[in-house]
């Protein structure tokens, strides 16, 4: 049997990736004061530079976009300086790295907002569940609905963040439009029934995402911008009455930007596969590379790459515990098990101390 093309180089926009294995965005909550990336973050990403592409943990585009403690931002000069350490470390080790641009919308809490402000959203709809704060879990609050005249300001936040990512030395950016955060809140009819030009029809609900992409690709070029979508993910109390039609429309609208890739989360946050959704139809609607995510192991990833529909496969939790994941998959080696107790916050334990195959052989 011929070796899988999963482990072969792949041309993505202006870059040649060393393989088709992508490190998915993984919130780890280990940024320093001011949500500034630290030396330990550079070490963590550098350890994983053998991925064909690293997509960073979600990074808030503004103070308003913050929804979790100790998550990095990309809106201050100090944060840019912190990210420069990360990109240099990854590039010194021969890797490629994109920054994920994030605005959480209503999935926040006044204690995480400047001056205790209410989180913003398409509608004044309070999500079910609890926010993670520095004081522990607190119930989500009723968000404030964005006024039509405020929307250009949101787009402006993405513009400045994209410019900052360029200054920080990233190879590209991924626009986070998944998992129940602000752009996803606008896309879905369960959280957006506005009556202005940003609500109602699928075209209107997609308008903010398209305006963000127009701005971000204007800075980066479409070939260095990806988008992440999660049509079936109900995380953060999000829903849509017809996700196949909604996201089919969104993906077709994306084609005019000539994007680097479409990153599709094919599961909900419990890991359940979306068997009721036609992923092949979604993939066929997109003209560029398709990156699959969700529940992929070695065999399924190889099959999806070799037989379709995926061009790239992103791995989340396996990359937490296996900094050398591409080598382990290629060799069929046993994977380290991740410790969920150390996923969020803390120090180097469960972050930079997982052994590689070379460590075990030494």
CA distances from 343 to 24, 27, 154 (A): 14, 8, 30
**Spatial CA neighbour of 174 closest among 102, 235, 240, 117:** 102
* Number of other residues whose CB lies within 10 A of the CB of residue 302: 20
Rounded to an integer, what distance in angstroms lies between the CA atom of residue 180 and that of residue 231? 10
Given 10, 181, 296, 351, the catalytic residue: 181
Asked if 260 and 288 touch (Cβ cutoff 8 Å), the reply is yes
* Number of other residues whose CB lies within 10 A of the CB of residue 312: 27
Strands 53-60 and 97-102: parallel
How does DSSP classify residue 271? Answer: -
Quote the crossing angle between the two packed helices 151-167 and 207-220, to the nearest 10°. Answer: 30
Tell me if residue 175 falls in helix, strand or coil: strand
Residue where the block lists tokens 């202005």: 196
Residue 272 sits at φ, ψ, to 5 deg, of -70, 130
Within the chain, strands assigned E span 10-12, 15-17, 21-23, 53-60, 97-102, 120-121, 130-133, 136-139, 144-145, 172-176, 225-229, 261-265, 290-293, 312-315
| Catalytic residue status for 354 | no
Please list the active-site residues: 181
């Amino acid at each position: 049997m011929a070796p899988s093309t999963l482990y072969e180089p792949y041309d993505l926009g202006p870059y040649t990736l060393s393989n088709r294995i992508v490190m998915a965005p993984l919130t780890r909550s280990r940024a320093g004061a001011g949500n500034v990336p630290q030396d330990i973050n550079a070490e963590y990403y550098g350890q994983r530079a053998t991925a064909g592409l690293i997509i960073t943990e979600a990074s808030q585009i503004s103070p308003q976009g913050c929804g979790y403690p100790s998550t990095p931002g990309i809106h201050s000069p100090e944060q840019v300086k912190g990210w420069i350490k990360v990109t240099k470390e990854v590039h010194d080790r021969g890797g490629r790295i994109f920054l994920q641009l994030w605005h959480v919308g209503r999935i926040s809490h006044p204690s995480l907002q400047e001056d205790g402000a209410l989180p913003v959203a398409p509608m004044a709809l309070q999500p079910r569940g609890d926010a993670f704060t520095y004081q522990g879990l607190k119930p989500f609050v009723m968000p404030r609905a964005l006024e039509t005249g405020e929307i250009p300001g949101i787009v402006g936040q993405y513009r400045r963040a994209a410019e900052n990512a360029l200054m920080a030395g990233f190879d590209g950016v991924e626009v986070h439009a998944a998992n129940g955060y602000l752009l996803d809140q606008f896309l879905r009819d369960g959280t957006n029934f506005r009556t202005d030009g940003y609500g109602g029809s699928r075209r209107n609900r997609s308008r903010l995402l398209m305006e963000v992409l127009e701005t971000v690709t204007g800075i980066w070029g479409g070939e260095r911008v990806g988008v992440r979508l999660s049509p079936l993910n109900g995380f953060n109390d999000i829903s849509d009455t017809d996700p196949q039609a909604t996201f089919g429309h969104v993906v077709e609208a994306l084609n005019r930007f000539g994007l680097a890739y479409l990153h599709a989360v094919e599961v909900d946050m419990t890991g359940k596969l979306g068997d009721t959704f036609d992923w092949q139809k979604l993939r066929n609607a997109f003209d560029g590379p398709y990156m699959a995510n969700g529940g992929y192991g070695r065999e399924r990833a190889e099959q999806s790459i070799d037989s379709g529909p995926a061009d790239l496969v992103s791995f989340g939790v396996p990359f937490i515990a296996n900094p050398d994941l591409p080598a382990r998959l290629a060799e069929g080696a046993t994977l380290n098990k991740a410790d969920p107790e150390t996923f969020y916050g803390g120090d180097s334990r469960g972050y930079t101390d997982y052994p590689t195959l070379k460590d075990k052989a030494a």
